Structure formats: structure tokens, C-alpha cells
DNA sequence: CTGAAAGCGCTTACAG
DNA sequence: CTGAAAGCGCTTACAG
């Protein structure tokens, strides 16, 4: 078991100073060709690699970025991480992943712990509880310390920083419009509770689409799901009414559950009932029938977020004010839960 | 924008030495009650938090562990991360995630980069390419430096270290046996290429089950899939033969594709064709029909791996030889692709 | 061309 | 009870 070798040890072995070793390895022109080669040969032999922690302390930057997300067992977030990781790696950064598990406290603890020198910047998506409490002091604090933060997907207007989002409202509007174009009139909405920012925006888009098409808004066609485990009954009640001819769901889980229940109720999809959902993931692709969804390119969101963060980290200027919000485009991926028009977008 | 405050600054403000500040904050009995309180009050006011990097350098441990996995956009790996993260957090560790993307080079680069002081230990699952090349020098090297390594799922016998696995062979055997118990005789196998360790083991289990039940082994009933994108034709050819009455797939993706193709071919599931697959994930639960699978508890594997790693990190003794291999139990989750016996295990 | 010194932010054995 | 010194592993401005 040969332990990692340090500059000090090399210096001692070669009977030169630590400075000389350091400079030799960094190819400083100060050092004679002779000693440089000797040191480099020795270092190579012992497989010397500089200690990252020491470098971090010296340089006051760690070349690592932290991602704080509510959940990882969730295809969308996994794709975002994947995108971040790719760009981070290309730029020599490592990635620390922390899960808030939708808990405010855990989000705060994680951020505070990492803000103390461990990382160069944050990429984060708010936990449900944080959105519910609308308490963002931990984020403000970190930003005030001069640490760059990029938020994505679940963001808030109360924090000024770089952001990467999709246009949830417009995308929802377009999705609902596509149902209307197919002649659907009784369009139900299966959504989250209001404090989830994206759920709210998607609900707004739904409402606006109805309005613009002179379709009466009906409270009774809306189900707000707080807890996924109890959702079946709510959706079942909704669909049993019999009136409904389309469902717009704010995520694919709500959609697939709706599809299952509808099928059980003897409804034919898409003849009796069309279904469109947010966020194209694994489930939509493999459920039967496959589900028409709004794509939300997590890879691209992650890449963009990482790029923005690294730019911010590496830019000398501290011009705090030029925060940007990037909007990633979405599109509808038509599958079997809407009338098969065979003009699938992808 | 108030920057992070350091001991040095506090010392200067309070006109005491850095040592005194440090000791005061750590409640050293050496310090007088008076100064202790004064320093603590001041530190609190300025929200002092020690710099993690400095502590890491001083203590020669970073309280972070690295996970190296082939892919994150894969439900199983996401659950493992989730399990690791939970245990890590409970023990005050952070988690760095690196993706090899099934590439040998990226696996090596990531490990070498992190091994230089950034982390206290590794949890890893081999990339396909690494398994194919059977080149594990990067892992041996890290272990030789005294850094603990825990491997999970995709492991190798060529490396001595702690491991967390399931008994792939037995689980496969049991799954196939369950098909045989239902009276299935022509059981096809949809598997990976042989160099993927778990694919190989599952294939072995399949073969043994047939043997033990005096069912002739038939080369033609086996499809080895190298590239998922080209799998449809291979599986289609397999199922078109018409002879087959069951499919055993080594992962749920292969299973759901088989189910789709079978349905398209007009086969009734499970009457004409039973399907059992490895690794219970999102797809199996939401496909229609839902798929009978061997559960592989990723959360538990992750928790166990993290526990083993942290124990190893924190144990003083360097008894390298007592490496353990933990086997996580699996069980069959019966769903709609096997004859509905209503005795679902879960 | 080489090396001693200072410093990144901290801790702790030791002196006073 | 307080503080100077050494040290974790490195880099770099400065002296010689």
C-alpha cells in the first residue's frame, strides 16, 4: 500500500526545496532543464498528483458545483443532472448532488453546509415545502456571500439570479389548445396543489386556453392532487362522471394513472377520452397506450444551467445585475392518447 | 454583499489571537468564560462558519464520498444514489456523483481526479466498457493508496473489496422456475452480451433452471442484445416463430419491448405468452399489462453500500483482508404478464 | 537557478 | 488564560 506522495517527500528524496519541486512540475522557466527533468521523472515514477484540497484552499475555488433537487428518483431530474454533469465535466468541474426530499430543512442544511467553501456555485430546483413556505432566506444569503446560483424548473420571482425554465403557461396553453382543436369540449385538469410553481403556471395556461376558445371554465373538472398515493379515488370520481372527453395532466404520473382508471372504466382512449400530459419521460413512452406529452428537455436544461453557472463563476466582473432567464423550448409529442394524426412531432 | 468571515477577521476585530478565537468557538476549557462568550456572540452575529476546505486539509478527510455509475437516467441507479445519499447525509457526508456513461476512459479519469484528496472513498458500479476490457488497474491503484472502495451490482471477482450485490443467478433461476411451474416449456431468454457481468449471471440461472427441470436448452430461444435501438427486430424474429410460450428478460426495458411486440403480433399476455423480467422499476409498474419482475431494491443496495463504505472510512484498523460481500435479497413481484394468481408478493 | 517565506483557513501542542 | 508556532499540501513573489 503506497500512500499518495507529496511535494515534501519528493523534495526530501531529491534533496531540493519544495519550491523547486513545485516549480519544476509546473514547468516554470525559472528552473534549470536538468533539475526539471529529474523532478518530473521522479514524480512520474511515484505517480505524483497534486492534492486537490490543498489547491482548492490555495486558489479559493474548488472546481465543483452543487446540485440541489427535490428528488432523484424522477426521470426529469435525472436527465437534468445528466446534462449538468456533462457540461461540468467538459469544463473540469465535479458535481455534488444533494436531495432535499421536498423538505425545506434539508434544503437549507445542505446549502449552508456546502456554502462554506466546499463548492463554487449552486444549481437548484426548489422543494415543495420551500415553495409552500415561500421562505428563501437561505438562497438570498448564499447569493449575498457572492456565490453564484442558478435556479431551474421550480423557481421563484422573489429571488434574483440566473434561471432556466420552460414557458409552462404557454406550453400548457398549447397542449390544451391541441385538445380543443380535436374537438374536445369537456377538458379536465389533473394538477398539483397551487403552491407548486410549475403546477400553478400550467393551470393558468389551461384556464387561458379555455377562455380564449369560449369554453366555460368548470371548477368541477379540476382535481388538485396533494398526495400521489391518494390520487386514484380523486381521479376515479372525476372520470366516472362520464361527461369528460379529455384530460390534461400536469405530469406523466397523473396521466398514466388517469389512463389506467379510464381504461378500467371502459372508456376508449383516444376515442372517448384524449389525454395530454406534461413532461415527456419513460412512463409516457412505455405505457399502453403511449401518452401524448409536452417534452421538457431536461438534458438541455441541465446543460444550459451548468453553462450559465460556470460562466458566472469564471467571469471576473461581479456585475450582479445582468441576471438572465433562459427559456427552453418545448413541443408536443403526439402519441396514442390523442387522436392518431400520424404527424408526430418527433 | 458580505463575504464569508474568517477566524483571522474575527481575531482582528476582537483584538485577540486566532488561536483564542478558534478555541473559543470549539468551547475549549482553556478559554475564560468571558472571552468565550464574547467571541461566540461575535461569530454568531457575523454568521461565522468554518471553511470546509481548510478543515479537510487539516483533518485529511473530506467527509464526502464519490459515486461512479454508468448512467443516471436509469431508475435503478437513481434509487441506489437515493439510498446512498440518505445514509451519507445521516453520517454527515456529502456525495459527489460521476457518470462514466459506460466509458472506460471516463471512469478512469473520474476516479483519478477524485482520488487526489477530494473524497474519502468510492462507491462504484462498473461501466460496460470496463467490464468488456476487464481492465481494473484504476481501481486497484486507488485501493492500494488506502482509499476504501465499495462496488455494487456490476462487480468483478478480480478486485478484492467490499461489495453489494444481489444473487443474480439464483434470482434468475427462481424467476425461470416460476415460469416452469406455470407449465411453460418454451422459454425464451432476452439478455445482454456476455461481458456484462449481471447479464451473464442471469443467463446462467436461466440455463440451470431449464437443466434442472429437464427442459432442453435451445440456442435459438436466446437473443443477446448489444444495442437497445436495434433490439426490436431481434425480438420480433424471436417471437414470430410462434413456438415460444414465455419470455425471461434480464431487464425491464427488454421486457416491455417484448410485450409490445408480442401484443402487436396478436399474442395474448399472459395466456399465450408469460413475461418475467429483472429489476422492478417504473416501467414495469406502469406498462400495460404490468410486468412481473424480480425486485432489486436499489435503495437498500445504496444504503448498504454507503454504510459499508463509511464504516471502512471510519475504522482505524487497516485490516484489508476482511472484505465482505453483502447479498441483498430479491423476490418476485407478480403482475399481469404472468398468470394472474392473485398472490402477488407485494 | 534555487530556496526561504508568506499565505490559503484552520487546529492544537506547547510556552509563557 | 492567551498567544506564537507548526503543520495540513500547495503556490508564488521575492531574495540571494
All three cell numbers of A207: 384556464
Q: Which of B29, B10, B26 is nearest to B18 (CA)?
A: B10
pLDDT at A340: 55
pLDDT digits (tens, 9 = 90+) for A242-282: 788 999 999 898 999 999 889 888 888 889 999 999 988 88
Which chain B residues are Cβ-neighbours of A112 within 8 angstroms?
49
| Residues with Cβ within 8 Å of residue A4, at least 6 apart in sequence | A49, A51, B116, B117, B145
pLDDT at B321: 65
Q: Which nucleotide's C1' sits nearest to the alpha carbon of B117?
A: D9
Q: Within 13 Å of residue A274, how many CA atoms lie on the same side as its CB?
A: 24
Strands B292-294 and B332-333, bridge-based pairing: antiparallel
The answer to whether the beta carbon of residue A14 comes closer than 7 angstroms to any atom of strand C is no
A116/B4 Cβ within 8 A: yes
Percent of chain A with pLDDT over 70: 95
| Residues with Cβ within 8 Å of residue B341, at least 6 apart in sequence | B334
Q: Within 13 Å of residue A39, how many CA atoms lie on the same side as its CB?
A: 27
From the list B2, B62, B82, which residue is nearest A144 (CB)? B2
User: How far apart (Å, rounded) are the C-alpha atoms in residues A217 and A67?
Assistant: 39
User: Does residue A61 contact residue A120 with C-beta atoms inside 8 Å?
Assistant: yes
pLDDT at B341: 43
The answer to whether the beta carbon of residue B215 comes closer than 7 angstroms to any atom of strand D is no
Residue nearest to nucleotide D8 (CA to C1'): B58
pLDDT at B153: 95
Query: Region A90-105: what's the mean pLDDT?
Result: 95
| Residues with Cβ within 8 Å of residue B174, at least 6 apart in sequence | B205, B209, B294, B332
Q: Is B344 on the interface with A (CB under 8 A)?
A: no
Using the predicted structure, report yes or no on whether residue A214 has a pLDDT greater than 60.
Answer: yes
All three cell numbers of A209: 386556453
Using the predicted structure, report yes or no on whether residue A345 has a pLDDT greater than 60.
Answer: no
pLDDT digits (tens, 9 = 90+) for A32-70: 999 999 999 999 999 999 999 999 999 999 999 999 999
A4/B117 Cβ within 8 A: yes
The DSSP code sequence of B115-163 is HTTT-SEEEE---HHHHHHT--HHHHHHHHTT--EEEESS--TTS-SEE
B99/A85 Cβ within 8 A: yes
> Which bases of strand C sit closer than 7 A to a protein CB?
1-5, 7-14
From the list A52, A96, A99, which residue is nearest B82 (CB)? A99
A51/B53 Cβ within 8 A: no
All three cell numbers of B44: 454568531
What's the distance, CA B21 to chain centroid?
44
| Residues with Cβ within 8 Å of residue A243, at least 6 apart in sequence | A186
pLDDT at A281: 87
Q: Starting at the edge strand that comes first in sequence, how are the strands of the sheet with B222-225 ordered?
A: B222-225, B187-192, B246-249, B274-278, B292-294, B332-333
Task: Provide, in whole angstroms, the distance separating residue A126's CA from nucleotide C13's C1'.
Answer: 46
The verdict on whether omega for the bond into residue A289 sits within 30 degrees of 0, i.e. cis, is yes
pLDDT at B340: 55
Place A342 in a pLDDT band, splitting at 50, 70 and 90. Answer: very low
Using the predicted structure, report yes or no on whether residue A346 has a pLDDT greater than 50.
Answer: no
pLDDT at A58: 94
Q: Which nucleotide's C1' sits nearest to the alpha carbon of A31?
A: C1
pLDDT at B318: 60
From the list B2, B50, B97, which residue is nearest A116 (CB)? B50
Count CB-CB contacts under 10 A for residue B287: 24
A94/B96 Cβ within 8 A: yes
**A339 conformational bin, left if phi > 0, alpha if psi -120 to 50, beta if neither:** beta
Using the predicted structure, report yes or no on whether residue A84 has a pLDDT greater than 90.
Answer: yes
User: How far apart (Å, rounded) are the C-alpha atoms in residues B274 and B125?
Assistant: 31
Q: Is A16 on the interface with B (CB under 8 A)?
A: no
Chain A 173-232, residues with CB within 8 Å of chain B CB atoms: none
Q: Which of B122, B133, B134, B74 is nearest to B98 (CA)?
A: B122
The average confidence (pLDDT) of chain A is 90
Q: Which of B272, B188, B251 is nearest to B223 (CA)?
A: B188
User: How far apart (Å, rounded) are the C-alpha atoms in residues A110 and A97?
Assistant: 10
The answer to whether the beta carbon of residue A112 comes closer than 7 angstroms to any atom of strand D is no
**pLDDT tens for each residue of chain B, 346 residues long:** 677 899 999 999 999 999 999 999 999 888 999 999 999 999 999 999 999 999 999 999 999 999 999 999 889 999 999 999 999 999 999 999 999 999 999 999 999 999 999 999 999 999 999 999 999 999 999 998 889 999 999 999 999 999 999 999 999 999 999 999 999 999 999 998 888 888 889 999 999 999 999 999 998 899 998 877 788 888 888 888 778 999 999 989 899 999 988 988 888 888 999 999 998 888 898 888 899 999 999 999 999 999 999 999 998 666 556 899 999 999 899 999 996 544 433 3
Q: Is B85 on the interface with A (CB under 8 A)?
A: yes
User: Does residue A256 contact residue B285 with C-beta atoms inside 8 Å?
Assistant: no
Task: Provide, in whole angstroms, the distance separating residue B60's CA from nucleotide D7's C1'.
Answer: 12
Q: Which nucleotide's C1' sits nearest to the alpha carbon of B34?
A: D1
> Which bases of strand D sit closer than 7 A to a protein CB?
1-5, 7-14
pLDDT digits (tens, 9 = 90+) for A280-325: 888 898 888 899 999 999 999 999 999 999 999 998 666 556 899 9
Report the 3 state secondary structure along A242-288.
Answer: CCCCEEEECCHHHHHHHHHHHHHCCCCCCCCCEEEEECCCHHHHHCC
Count CB-CB contacts under 10 A for residue A336: 16
From the list B85, B97, B112, which residue is nearest A95 (CB)? B97
B75/A282 Cβ within 8 A: yes
| Residues with Cβ within 8 Å of residue A35, at least 6 apart in sequence | A16, A20, A24
CA torsion, points A48, A49, A50, A53, in degrees to nearest 10? -130
The answer to whether the beta carbon of residue A30 comes closer than 7 angstroms to any atom of strand D is yes
Residue nearest to nucleotide C8 (CA to C1'): A58
User: How far apart (Å, rounded) are the C-alpha atoms in residues A170 and A332?
Assistant: 12
Q: Helices B104-115 & B137-144, crossing angle to 10 degrees?
A: 10
Amino acid at each position: 500500500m503506497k500512500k499518495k506522495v507529496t511535494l515534501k517527500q519528493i523534495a526530501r528524496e531529491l534533496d531540493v526545496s519544495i519550491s523547486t519541486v513545485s516549480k519544476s512540475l509546473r514547468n516554470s522557466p525559472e528552473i534549470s532543464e536538468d533539475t526539471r527533468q529529474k523532478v518530473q521523472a521522479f514524480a512520474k515514477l511515484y505517480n505524483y498528483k497534486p492534492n486537490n484540497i490543498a489547491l482548492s484552499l490555495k486558489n479559493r475555488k474548488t472546481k465543483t458545483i452543487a446540485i440541489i433537487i427535490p428528488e432523484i428518483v424522477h426521470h426529469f431530474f435525472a436527465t437534468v443532472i445528466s446534462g449538468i454533469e456533462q457540461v461540468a465535466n467538459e469544463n473540469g468541474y465535479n458535481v455534488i448532488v444533494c436531495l432535499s426530499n421536498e423538505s425545506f430543512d434539508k434544503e437549507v442544511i445542505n446549502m449552508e453546509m456546502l456554502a462554506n467553501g466546499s463548492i463554487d456555485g449552486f444549481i437548484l430546483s426548489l422543494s415543495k415545502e420551500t415553495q409552500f413556505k415561500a421562505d428563501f432566506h437561505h438562497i438570498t444569503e448564499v447569493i449575498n456571500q457572492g456565490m453564484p446560483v442558478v435556479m431551474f424548473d421550480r423557481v421563484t420571482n422573489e429571488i434574483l439570479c440566473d434561471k432556466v425554465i420552460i414557458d409552462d403557461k404557454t406550453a400548457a396553453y398549447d397542449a390544451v389548445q391541441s385538445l380543443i382543436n380535436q374537438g374536445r369540449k369537456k377538458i379536465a385538469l389533473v394538477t398539483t396543489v397551487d403552491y407548486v410553481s410549475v403546477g400553478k403556471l400550467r393551470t393558468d395556461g389551461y384556464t387561458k386556453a379555455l377562455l380564449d376558445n369560449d369554453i366555460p371554465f368548470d371548477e368541477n373538472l379540476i382535481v388538485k392532487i396533494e398526495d400521489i398515493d391518494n390520487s386514484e379515488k380523486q381521479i376515479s370520481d372525476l372520470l366516472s362522471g362520464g361527461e369528460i372527453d379529455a384530460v390534461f395532466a400536469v405530469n406523466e404520473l397523473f396521466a398514466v394513472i388517469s389512463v389506467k382508471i379510464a381504461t378500467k372504466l371502459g372508456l376508449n382512449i383516444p376515442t372517448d377520452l384524449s389525454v395530454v400530459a406534461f413532461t415527456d419521460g419513460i412512463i409516457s413512452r412505455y405505457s399502453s397506450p403511449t401518452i401524448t406529452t409536452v417534452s421538457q428537455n431536461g438534458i438541455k436544461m441541465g446543460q444550459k444551467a451548468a453553462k450559465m453557472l460556470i460562466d458566472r463563476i469564471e467571469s471576473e466582473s461581479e456585475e450582479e445585475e445582468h441576471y438572465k432567464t433562459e427559456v427552453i423550448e418545448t413541443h408536443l409529442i403526439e402519441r396514442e392518447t390523442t387522436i392518431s394524426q400520424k404527424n408526430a412531432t418527433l
